[in-house]
Amino acid sequence: MAGPGARPPSARRGARLGRQLRGVAGVLLSLALTLLGLLLVTFIIGRVMPIDPVLKVVGERATQAQYDAARLAMGLDQPLWRQFLTYAGQVLHGDFGRSISTGHAVTEDLRRVFPATVELATLGTLIGVCAGVPLGVIAAARRGRWIDQIARVVALIGYSMPIFWLGLMGLLLFYGILGWIGGPGRQGIIYDGMVPEVTGMILIDSLLSGDWGAFRDTFSHIILPASLLGYFSLAYISRMTRSFMLEQLSAEYITTARVKGLSERRVIWGHAFRNILVPLVTVIALSFASLLEGSVLTEIVFSWPGLGQYITKALLAGDMNAVLGGTVLIGTCFVVLNIASDILYRLLDPRAA
C-alpha cells in the first residue's frame, strides 16, 4: 500500500511526461538560438572580409553607375540590421545566392559536392570506431602494459602528425610506388559519370546499380583518404574510450562482479563497456562532425571534389556566397549532430533527463 504522501502512478507519469516535454522544448530553443548565432557569425564574416562583393559581380572595369546599381540591387545600401534580416530570411528559404566561380546557385553546388564529403567522413568514422573502440577498451583493461603504451603512442601520433604530409606520403607509397590504390580523385576516368546518381555517394550508388567494377574503382580511390581521416578519428575515440573505461573499471560494482567470480571478459564487455555506451555515442557524433568540417586538407591533397575543396576554391576566388553557404551548412551539421547526440544521451540514460 502506498504511503499517504505517495502520488498515484498517473500523476508520476504526467510529471515524467512534463519533464520530457520541457527537455524537448529546451533542446529546440537551444537549436534555434544556436542556428541564429551561426547566421549572425557568418553574416559578420561576410561583411568584415576585405573583399568587395559588388566588385566581384560587376568586374573591375565597371563604371560607377553600374557599381552603384549593383550595390543597390544587392541591398548593400540598407542598414546592417535590415541586411541581416534579409540574409537570414534567404538562408532559411535555402537561398545562398549564386556562386561567382561556377555561375550556379550555391544551393545547387552544395547539393552536388556535399555527398562526397559525407561519404568520405562516414567511412573515416566507421574506420575510427571499428578500430578505436576496441583499442581503447583493451588499453584500459591492460593499463600500464605494452598494449596500453602502444595505444597511447598511436593516439599521440594521430594528434601530432600533419594530415597533408601523411596524405602526400601515402600517395607516394601506395599509389606512386606500389600501385595499390586508385590515386587522387573520386573515380577513374573510364567510370566518370557511368553510375546513375541516387544518393550522390558513389560507393552506395554503384552498389544500388550493381556495377561492381565502378564500386571497386571508387573504393580504391576512397580507401586511403578515408583511412587517414579514420586514423585521426581513431586517435580521439580510443583516447576517450580508454578514459571512460578506466573510470568504470575503478568503480565498486566492477569489484563486486569480480568477487562473484565473473569472467574478466564478461566484466569488461558485459558490465563496464555497457555503461560507457551512452557517453561514447556523443564522442562518435562529435568525431563525425569534426571530420565533416575538418576534411579540407584531405580533400585538397587527394583532389576529392567535396565541400572542403569547394569552400577553399571559393575563398581563393573571393566567392563569398559560396564560402558563407558552405560555412552555414557545416555549422548546421555540427549543431544538429550535437543536439541529436544530446537527445540520444537523454533517451539512453534516464538519469540525464
pLDDT single digits (tens) 204-238: 999 988 889 889 999 999 999 999 999 989 999 99
Classify 98 as helix, strand or coil: strand
Quick one: what percent of the chain has pLDDT higher than 70?
A: 90
Q: Given the C-alpha cell 559536392, which residue does it identify? A: 113
pLDDT at 64 over 60: yes
Backbone angles phi, psi at 216, to 5 degrees: -65, -40
pLDDT at 131 over 90: yes
Q: Given the C-alpha cell 600500464, which residue does it identify? A: 144
- Ranking 43-57, 116-130, 180-194, 262-276 by mean pLDDT, the lowest is 43-57
The C-alpha cell that represents 117 in the structure block: 564529403
Task: Check residue 191 and report its DSSP letter.
Answer: G
- Range picked from 24-28, 36-40, 115-119, 155-159 for highest mean pLDDT: 115-119
Q: Given the C-alpha cell 512534463, which residue does it identify? A: 18
Write down all domains in the chain, each with its CATH number in brackets: 9-92 (no CATH), 106-352 (1.10.3720.10)
CA 19 to chain centre: 30
> 98 forms bridges with which residues in the sheet?
105
Measure CA of the first residue to CA of the last residue in the chain; give whole Å. 28
Q: What is the pLDDT of residue 89?
A: 84
Mean pLDDT confidence for 117-133: 93
Write the burial class of residue 5 (CB in 10 Å: 0-12 exposed, 13-18 middle, 19+ buried).
exposed
For the chain, give percent helix, strand, coil, nearest 5.
75, 0, 25
CA 161 to chain centre: 20
pLDDT at 28 over 80: no
Mean pLDDT confidence for 324-341: 84
pLDDT at 76 over 60: yes
Question: Are the C-beta atoms of 74 and 53 separated by less than 8 Å?
Answer: yes
pLDDT at 4 over 60: no
Question: Are the C-beta atoms of 241 and 136 separated by less than 8 Å?
Answer: yes
Q: What is the CA radius of gyration of the chain?
A: 25
- Of the pLDDT bands very low, low, confident and very high (cuts 50, 70, 90), residue 14 is low
Backbone angles phi, psi at 50, to 5 degrees: -75, 50
- Of the pLDDT bands very low, low, confident and very high (cuts 50, 70, 90), residue 1 is very low
Rounded distance between C-alpha atoms, residue 293 and residue 282, angstroms:
17
Which residues fall within 8 angstroms of residue 202, CB to CB, at 6 or more apart? 119, 186, 187, 195, 214, 218
Which residues fall within 8 angstroms of residue 50, CB to CB, at 6 or more apart? none
Question: Are the C-beta atoms of 147 and 182 separated by less than 8 Å?
Answer: no
Rounded distance between C-alpha atoms, residue 306 and residue 22, angstroms:
39
Q: For residue 23, give the amino acid letter.
A: G
Q: What is the pLDDT of residue 117?
A: 92
DSSP 238-254: HHHHHHHHHHHHTSHHH
Rounded distance between C-alpha atoms, residue 333 and residue 294, angstroms:
13
Mean pLDDT confidence for 105-110: 91
Backbone angles phi, psi at 98, to 5 degrees: -110, 145
Rounded distance between C-alpha atoms, residue 184 and residue 299, angstroms:
9
State how far the alpha carbon of 131 is from the alpha carbons of 14, 76, 158, 183, 269, in Å. Answer: 43, 51, 13, 24, 16
More confident: 236 or 1: 236
Write the burial class of residue 95 (CB in 10 Å: 0-12 exposed, 13-18 middle, 19+ buried).
middle
Quick one: what percent of the chain has pLDDT higher than 90?
A: 20
Backbone angles phi, psi at 183, to 5 degrees: 90, -170
pLDDT single digits (tens) 254-309: 888 888 888 888 888 888 898 888 889 889 988 898 888 777 888 888 989 999 88
